[in-house]
A and B are shown apart, each in its own frame.
Chain A
Amino acid sequence: MIDLSSKLEKLSLELVEKNAHLYKVTVKLENLESILLSFLNEFGYITLDSINCRDDLEEGLFTITYCLQTEKRDHVVMVQTSIDRENATLPSMHTLWPQAEIMEREMHEMFGVDFPTHPSLIDFALEYWEHMPPMRRDFDTLEFVNSMNPFRDQRGDNLDVKVEMKKRREEKKAAKLKAEQEAAAKLAAQEQQNPDSEAQNNE
């Protein structure tokens, strides 16, 4: 790994060791294509294991991770880059790795990332989908689900658990209080009915 680290230093990149089998390098978007090409052709990372996309809504970014492996497959290098969330565009890698075609197709559908040079940006898992790409964090699943599929009426699945627990606890408390009061009242009533019984017992 020292080998790769020194090679990357020449490109002024830093290799971060995550654990014994996992390394990470962060690159800029404009260098992404050339760096991936040199990973493939010069450093020997011939396998693309997966392309992952993470939605960092707060920073307005998509974080894209290319997970690469060598011929030996004894470690993974994550090549990470960030793209703008609005007008998200990425160069397609299907010419370098054929399996990138399907991974990018999925990313296009789930996140709305555009690949201008991609050969087939057709549907992957969804069908006739007309809303926002569903894996984006600002897509409100709960609202969408409730509008499409209401719960069965008789069931209480749609209730908020925290509110219900609080309600139940308060009910329990109230019931306990009531029972105590009743018991106290009963005792008082008993004492009133035969006030001399206790006195007799004490004797």
Chain B
Amino acid sequence: MESGFHGSDLDSSLKCKLEESGMANTHAIMEKAVNWFRSRSIFVVAYGTGCGAIEMPPTFTSRYDAERMGVVGVATPRQADLIILSGYLAYKTLRRVIRTYEQMQRPKYVITLGSCPINGGMYWDSYNTIKKLDDYIPVDVYVTGCMPRPESVIEGFVLLQERIKNGEKAGWQKYDENLKFYKDNQKRVLGGHIDPSYETDWYNLENGGVA
């Protein structure tokens, strides 16, 4: 296979080859199989961005044991499929979160914990936190509560697994499609100070994409 799978879409050239050789059904079956495997091995990047990080140790250790769902913690964003944004995000953290998110390999998913990323939560009038996270990063599953209990976090995992298994359109696909919307919002609220400065210039992809 020359190129890997991208989300729920198999590479188009592979699809053509399969259709030429009269194996069009194989495409759908393989896609289903890939999605099933993918839903059963979710690697979470270790980044506790807010209060919710306090419920991460119970979720991942022996009492609630998220590992039985195939959810495992990893150290670097390069190996991760999922980032858990656990609570309010200060502007300073949002810069790092965007960078971490862009470092992750596709397919990638986002789960948020708590009420704060939805509409500000109890920090709605704080001058240093954002209100609507989905303006800056696409969110796949919101787990509500302050704090969400480990059971709710696991329910969030299960919901995400269902969505992956069904091949639903995920957040990262939205991010790629509506890049200008997200980048504009990020620039508006972070004032252009988005690290790193060497990132791809998504505005001028046709001109080589160099910032």
Contacts and interface: CB of A to CB of B under 8 A. Distances in A.
A and B directly contacting (CB within 8 A):
yes
Interface of A: 125-128, 130, 134, 139, 141-142, 144-145, 148-152, 155, 157
A151 B131 contact: yes
Contacts of A152: 118-119, 131-132
Interface of B: 91-92, 95, 118-120, 124-128, 130-132, 189-191, 193
A157 to B, nearest CB: 6
Secondary structure of the A contact surface, majority rule = loop
Nearest to B130: A149
A153 to B, nearest CB: 10
A134 B126 CA distance: 10
A141 B126 CA distance: 7
Nearest to A128: B193
Contacts of B131: 149-152
Contacts, number: 44
A127 B193 contact: yes
A202 B95 CA distance: 83
Given A128-B191, A128-B193, A152-B131, A145 B119 contact: no
Nearest to A150: B131
B193 A149 contact: no
B92 A144 contact: no
Contacts of A139: 127
Contact of A127 (B91, B120, B127, B189): B91
A148 B193 CA distance: 15
Given A127-B193, A128-B193, A151-B131, A145 B124 contact: yes
Nearest to A131: B127
A186 to B, nearest CB: 44
B122 to A, nearest CB: 11
Contact of A126 (B126, B128, B189): B128
Contacts of A150: 131
Contact of B127 (A128, A130, A134): A134
B189 A142 contact: no
26 contacts: A125-B92, A126-B92, A127-B91, A127-B193, A128-B193, A130-B191, A134-B128, A141-B125, A141-B126, A141-B127, A145-B124, A145-B125, A145-B126, A145-B127, A148-B189, A149-B120, A149-B130, A149-B131, A151-B119, A151-B120, A151-B124, A152-B118, A152-B132, A155-B119, A157-B119, A157-B120
Nearest to B119: A152
Nearest to B92: A127
Contacts of A125: 92, 128
A139 B127 CA distance: 10
A142 B193 contact: no
Contacts of A134: 127-128
A183 B95 CA distance: 62
B129 to A, nearest CB: 8
Nearest to B129: A149
